[in-house]
Amino acid sequence: MKLLTKCNKAGATVVIATHDETIYRNTPYRIMELRNGITHSITGGITQ
């Protein structure tokens, strides 16, 4: 995660597909939940 965070801070968009909620829980980043290919929720995200 440290490497991905570093890449993101350098300006890269990082996409992680996982079933492990502990990877993204308590982060300030946007989280998109997909079920059967359909977006069901979008939460979080840093506003500038």
Chain segment 10-46, per-residue pLDDT in tens: 999 999 998 898 888 888 888 888 889 898 888 887 6
Which amino acid, 38?
I
Residue 48 located in a structural domain: no
Question: Which residues form the domain of 8?
Answer: 2-43
The predicted structure's pLDDT at residue 48: 47
In the numeric block, which tokens belong to residue 41?
A: 């929720």
Q: What is the C-alpha separation between 4 and 38, in angstroms, rounded?
A: 25
Residue 27 located in a structural domain: yes
Which amino acid, 29?
Y
For the entire predicted model, the pTM comes to 0.62
33 forms bridges with which residues in the sheet? 41
The predicted structure's pLDDT at residue 46: 63
Q: How many domains does the chain have?
A: 1
- Cα–Cα distances (Å) from 4 to 8, 9, 39, 41, in that order, read 6, 9, 23, 23
pLDDT tops 60 at residue 47? no
Q: What is the C-alpha separation between 20 and 6, in angstroms, rounded?
A: 21
Residue 26 located in a structural domain: yes
